[in-house]
């Protein structure tokens, strides 16, 4: 068994209104110095040893991310 982390983020060219809302809220809370925020998804998977990198990429590409608008990174 291994813990695998998959992070899914919007592609750079896709607008992220949720991140922009966080930037605005930080300003209103008096926190300065944060110029940009992008929000994505974070998945922690418990996988068996039979799940190889190719299977993980397929899982991320078909189920965890929308490859039209999102990129993903896999960390073992």
Q: Do residues 74 and 57 lie in contact, with contact meaning Cβ atoms separated by under 8 Å?
A: yes
User: Alpha-carbon Rg of the chain, whole angstroms?
Assistant: 16
- Interface positions, 39-58, toward a copy of itself (CB under 8 A): 39-48, 50-51, 55, 58
Taking Cα atoms as reference points, which of 37, 47, 50 lies closest to residue 10?
37
**Distance in Å, CB of 5 to a copy of itself, minimum:** 8
**20 part of the interface to a copy of itself, by CB under 8 A:** no
Among 14, 31, 57, 69, which residue sits at the site for a copy of itself (rule: CB under 8 A)? 31
Residue 8 is inside which H or E element, if any? strand 2-10
Q: Which residues bind a copy of itself (CB under 8 A)?
A: 1, 7-9, 19, 22, 25-26, 29, 31-48, 50-51, 55, 58-59, 62-64
């Amino acid at each position: 068994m291994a813990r695998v982390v998959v992070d899914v983020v919007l592609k750079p060219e896709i607008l992220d209104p949720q991140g922009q809302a966080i930037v605005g809220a930080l300003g209103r809370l008096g926190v300065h110095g944060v110029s940009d925020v992008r929000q994505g998804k974070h998945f922690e998977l418990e996988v068996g040893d039979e799940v190889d990198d190719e299977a993980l990429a397929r899982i991320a590409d078909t189920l965890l991310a929308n490859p039209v608008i999102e990129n993903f990174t896999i960390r073992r």
